[in-house]
Chain A
Amino acid sequence: MTIVPGLQEHDDTGIAEFAAESVVILDRHGKVRYWNPAAERLFGWPALAARGTSITKFSSAPADEKRAWTQLLQEGSWQGRVGRCTPDGNIVFADVRRHQRYGAAGEHRDVIEFARPATDAGNPHAHGGAVPDGMMAASWRIDISPASATIAEIAERADVAGEDEMGRLHHHLVEIARIVEVNERTARLVGGNRGRALMTGQSVAAFWPVGSRGILAELILEALDDKNGGVCRRQLASDGILRDPVVSVWRAGSEQLGHLFIAVYGEADDDRSYPFLRASEARYRNLIDYMPIALWQVDASHMGKIYAGLKAQGIVDFERYLEQHPELAELAATSVPVTDVNRSAIELVGGAGVQDLIRPVGYLFAESPASLRRIMIGRFTGLKNHSEFMKLRTLDDRALDVRLSVTYPEPLLELDTTIFSLEDVTDRLRMEAQLRQLQADFSHAARVSMLGELASSIAHEVNQPLAAIVTNAETSLRWLARDTPDVGKVAQLTARIAANARRADDIVQRARDMAVKQAPEPVELAFNEIIQESLLFVRHEVETRSIRVTTSFARNLPPVIGDRIQLQQVIVNMLINAVQAVECGEENDRDIAIATGTDEKGNLLFTLRDRGPGIAADHVYHIFDSFFTTKPQGMGIGLAICQSIVVAHGGEVSASNRPGGGAEFRVVLPRAGGHAVVGRLTGNAPRSFVPHPPNAA
């Protein structure tokens, strides 16, 4: 049988983890390779501290230990009693069995040691059974070498500094201290769902409860001062994580100056059992990890402190402050860490794994730095959340349109985590743009078809001024041909020619605007003017059919945002329908009444009433459907297009029969002020800052 050494050890340790007996694996030189929780309990040293240390160092009688080791190497196994120093300076006696293990090739692989407390030594921890969670230390290995300047300052100022200054220095020390390694329990208790690996290299303060950072700093200083490398211990108040925890701190040893071990003992301060918690946490973690929404967990706690400082200085207009201090946004981009992401997030930004995304948030805002500033402003002003559309450049260099939602931390909760959720709306926006293009194509087609219906009217209208021009010009020539040319008369005729040419040009221009295919251009428009211009299109149709058009224009109408040509199209289309409805009726009934006004909400209202036959009962609900028509030559797109244009302008259109006969059409358009219309018409998603999005739950 071939044994892969690594795998073998992994299996060993997996089982040993749950053993009630102390299990230690040593290499052939006696250095600790593995140290199970029962060993932690029995000998007091956390695995973190024990690993890599020669077993002789723990021995209360090194000479005896040496002899025992020699015997083991000679005989393959050894059994006996050993004494080991605990971190607090006591000696624990244990009965141990050691066995040498060999690899497949017969080479010496390692030594496995089983130990039980010596039953007659009155060991306080002498009881069997598995090691309960509460008995396992949450252990840390930290590096305080980056804090040497602070430590020196503390020593210098020890006698003169006030309590406040000392407190600040202590907190600073904990902030500068870095995590080298933590065990599973620490990661579970304070690491959130970041995992052990991600805690490495981070500030100790990022994970250590705020309330006891001062005490930790004191313990660190005490441990550094202890010439013997002894253990400094302190009981803490329950902090919501552990109940009455005891913290021990000691130096790692001379070969790693600046490294310290911390062990925290205590039972989880929660009535629920650990397996329950773990299952629950796993459930939530899975839930969040597999959520289809891309999520980022961000730790902007230090920015919160900066904001508090700025507020204390009396800064109120943070937007202006940010403009004047762009370096603050830069600081946020480069120093606010992403602490966790889910699968969708990795997928969205095209990273290879979690590690690609766990870094300062700046990469999310490379394409739209203004978004980051708005997020900062939202936090500063104390919003609960913020949402906007922005451009995102992914890690694999795709340009996406995303909807960003930010949930800010609640001010009174200690956990300072901000959640970003990003939704890829690129496809949606693209589809919307395509739909808008289709709608524009259709409305253009409908416009051209409408112009076709008006062609003979338009030709007639253009022809009149042309006829006048020709006749006036020829008359002028006749005046000029006389023996005494009448200059006054010629001048009058020439003025008429110019006026008629202008008139013809206006008509042609109007028709051409209708015929040209162009992107809708939302501008602020006077609604009454649109109606008056629309009436010009059908003037001839109306006049030659002896139709009376009465108009009632409301004064002081609010402006409307929209595309002039499209809105004209709607009105002209409705007018043509009305003309066709009344032209077959009695001459006395050929009435069309147009009115503008506002509805009860202050929106613009346009009504068109005719005295025609009205709308057949079964047609009332279909007249705005595409391809619905009652006309033999009609395509049935006119009113459907009218509706889609009005809807694109954020309004609505309706049709009904009038009690006295005839039909009534109503168009309601929102008054200027709704930016959404602009977006819908032009295809640009609104980029406006939306302070309170509808519940982003």
Chain B
Amino acid sequence: MLELPTVAIVDDDEAVREALGDLLMVSGLTCHTFAGAAAFLAAWTECHFDCLVTDIRMPGMTGIELVERLHDEGAKLPVIILSSVLDQQTRAHALSLGVHAWFTKPVSDEQLLGAITIAIENNSGPGG
């Protein structure tokens, strides 16, 4: 792999976006942050992302709606949900849609980075 893996971060909260961005950067990942699902979808058509980390509760399109959209489109992009939503139904629904991991904020750096690493490795496996 010549290029560093690129991670997309979608969260309406700027402080959270900044913090996650810095964490991924110090860990040797490239990352792009988006304030909402719509902005991410717009960029996705042009850029390649190896992993998506998204919040659930957001103005406009929610994280779940975004996951549903990606699922409907058959996208292979691994998704990690990082949210303060504790609702088990929503969680089960998300996992059924193929979401790779679900973390409740605040998450430890090791857990999050571990999950991102695994997601990227799995994704870049057989399919390439």
Residues of A within 8 A of B (CB): 459-460, 463-472, 474-475, 478-479, 489, 493, 496, 499-500, 503, 540, 543-544, 546
**CB-defined A-B contacts under 8 Å, sample of 25:** A464-B84, A464-B105, A467-B19, A467-B82, A468-B13, A468-B16, A468-B18, A468-B19, A469-B19, A471-B16, A471-B107, A472-B22, A474-B108, A474-B109, A478-B23, A479-B26, A496-B18, A503-B15, A540-B57, A543-B12, A543-B59, A544-B57, A544-B59, A544-B62, A546-B59
A544 — which chain B residues lie within 8 A by C-beta? Answer: 57-59, 62
A465 — which chain B residues lie within 8 A by C-beta? Answer: 15
Q: Is the C-beta of B96 less than 8 angstroms from some C-beta in chain A?
A: no
Top 10 nearest A-B pairs (CB, nearest first) are A467-B105, A470-B106, A463-B84, A471-B19, A474-B109, A468-B15, A467-B106, A543-B59, A468-B19, A475-B23
For residue B61, which residue of chain A has the nearest CB?
A: A546
- CB atoms of A475 and B109 under 8 A apart: yes
Interface mask (B11-49 → A, CB under 8 Å = 1, otherwise 0): 011011011101100110000000000000000000000
- Once the chains are docked, how many angstroms separate the CA of A543 from the CA of B12? 10
A475 — which chain B residues lie within 8 A by C-beta? Answer: 19, 22-23, 26, 109
Q: Is the C-beta of B60 less than 8 angstroms from some C-beta in chain A?
A: yes
- CB atoms of A471 and B106 under 8 A apart: yes
For residue B87, which residue of chain A has the nearest CB?
A: A456
B57 — which chain A residues lie within 8 A by C-beta? Answer: 460, 540, 544
For residue A477, which residue of chain B has the nearest CB?
A: B109
- Once the chains are docked, how many angstroms separate the CA of A503 from the CA of B19? 15
- Which residue in A466, A474, A478, A479 is a CB contact (below 8 Å) of B105? A466
Which among A468, A471, A493 has the greatest number of chain B C-beta atoms within 10 A?
A: A471
B16 — which chain A residues lie within 8 A by C-beta? Answer: 464, 467-468, 471
- Which residue in A467, A493, A540 is a CB contact (below 8 Å) of B107? A467
Q: State how many angstroms separate the Cβ of B111 from the closest Cβ of chain A.
A: 10
- CB atoms of B105 and A496 under 8 A apart: no
Give the contacts of B75-108 with A (CB-CB under 8 A). 82, 84-85, 105-108
A540 — which chain B residues lie within 8 A by C-beta? Answer: 57
Size of the B side of the interface (Cβ < 8 Å), in residues, is: 24
Residues of B within 8 A of A (CB): 12-13, 15-16, 18-20, 22-23, 26-27, 57-60, 62, 82, 84-85, 105-109
SS of A interface (majority): helix
A472 — which chain B residues lie within 8 A by C-beta? Answer: 19, 22
For residue A500, which residue of chain B has the nearest CB?
A: B15
Q: State how many angstroms separate the Cβ of B24 from the closest Cβ of chain A.
A: 9
- CB atoms of B59 and A471 under 8 A apart: no
A474 — which chain B residues lie within 8 A by C-beta? Answer: 23, 108-109
- Once the chains are docked, how many angstroms separate the CA of A568 from the CA of B56? 29
B58 — which chain A residues lie within 8 A by C-beta? Answer: 543-544
- Once the chains are docked, how many angstroms separate the CA of A489 from the CA of B22? 9
- Once the chains are docked, how many angstroms separate the CA of A470 from the CA of B84? 14
Besides the known contacts A469-B106, A474-B108, A544-B62, 13 further A-B residue pairs in the complex with CB atoms under 8 A apart: A463-B106, A467-B82, A467-B106, A472-B22, A474-B23, A489-B22, A496-B15, A496-B19, A499-B15, A503-B15, A543-B58, A544-B57, A546-B59
- Once the chains are docked, how many angstroms separate the CA of A272 from the CA of B92? 103
Q: State how many angstroms separate the Cβ of B38 from the closest Cβ of chain A.
A: 11
- Once the chains are docked, how many angstroms separate the CA of A336 from the CA of B44? 95
Q: State how many angstroms separate the Cβ of A423 from the closest Cβ of chain B.
A: 60
Q: State how many angstroms separate the Cβ of B61 from the closest Cβ of chain A.
A: 9
- CB atoms of A470 and B108 under 8 A apart: yes
- Which residue in A478, A503, A546 is a CB contact (below 8 Å) of B27? A478
For residue A459, which residue of chain B has the nearest CB?
A: B84
- Once the chains are docked, how many angstroms separate the CA of A463 from the CA of B15? 11
B106 — which chain A residues lie within 8 A by C-beta? Answer: 463, 466-467, 469-471
- Once the chains are docked, how many angstroms separate the CA of A464 from the CA of B107? 11
- Once the chains are docked, how many angstroms separate the CA of A489 from the CA of B21? 13
A500 — which chain B residues lie within 8 A by C-beta? Answer: 15
B82 — which chain A residues lie within 8 A by C-beta? Answer: 467
- Which residue in A460, A466, A478 is a CB contact (below 8 Å) of B109? A478
- Once the chains are docked, how many angstroms separate the CA of A465 from the CA of B26? 20
- CB atoms of A478 and B26 under 8 A apart: yes
- Once the chains are docked, how many angstroms separate the CA of A499 from the CA of B18? 13
A471 — which chain B residues lie within 8 A by C-beta? Answer: 16, 19-20, 22-23, 106-107, 109
